[in-house]
Amino acid sequence: MDTILECHGLTKFYGSGVCALNQINLNVGRGRIVGLLGPNGSGKSTFMKLANGLLTPSLGDLSIAGFPVGPDTKEAVSYLPERTYLNDWMKVRDLIAFFRDFYTNFNEAKAYDMLSRLNINPNDRLKTMSKGTKEKVQLVLVMARKAQLYLLDEPIGGVDPAARDYILNTILGNYNENATIIISTHLITDIEQVLEDVIFISRGEIIMVSSVDQIREEKGMSVDALFREVFRC
């Protein structure tokens, strides 16, 4: 397997002594769509932030495309945080210009095409938009980069069910097929159809790594059904 993300003994403590991740060992291949699945508070967002370099490990190591997470991996990773971080006073057009200037792998034409497909006016300011539309704008900015690894933290968590198909179609229709997407979520039913592999995480520990096909063949159930059984939802 050609690996895009690898970690050994990855551990993260927060200042209060809380262990958010405990001895994570993981290899994620290239060209895969992976679900990082677990209940709220299981360590999903912490893992995403470590992979993007927003946090540093307390113990262990984490590499992307063969490089330790840091300046050498910034171009390789495109990250969608759980919460919107964009400034409300900015127009969408201004944000696109900012990303174009900041990231050499940002495709401006692709960003405008996605906005058009989502019926978002690039001249609108964020402060005039609903929470769901703001999250769509943020997703456009992330997916318009030609990255090797896309880290999407709860990309459908803040939008209504009717908008979730738009979000998933935007993700699937606008990424490099040689790249890998890791989608962190607890909304399994909505994304199971697009996943190839899953990682179950609970209380900061990986409890299962499997392909979706393997779950269906060996367990005789859907990923959502297995998730509910494992976590007693």
| Average pLDDT of span 47-72 | 96
Three-class DSSP category at 193: helix
> Could you tell me the end-to-end alpha-carbon distance of the chain, in angstroms, rounded to an integer?
33
Mean pLDDT of the chain: 91
pLDDT of residue 231: 86
Three-class DSSP category at 108: helix
Q: How is residue 115 written in tokens?
A: 């906005």
Whether 233 shows a pLDDT value over 60: the answer reads no
Question: What residues contact 198, with CB distance under 8 A and at least 6 apart?
Answer: 34, 35, 37, 208, 209, 210, 211, 212, 215, 223
Q: Which residue segment(s) compose the domain that 22 sits in?
A: 3-231
CA distance 153 to 81: 5
- pTM for the structure as a whole: 0.93
| Residue-wise pLDDT tens digits, 67-117 | 999 999 999 999 999 877 788 899 999 999 999 999 999 999 999 999 998
The residue type at 211: S
Domain count, the chain: 1
pLDDT of residue 80: 93
CATH number of the domain bearing residue 62: 3.40.50.300
Strands annotated E in 14-73: 19-29, 33-37, 59-64, 67-68
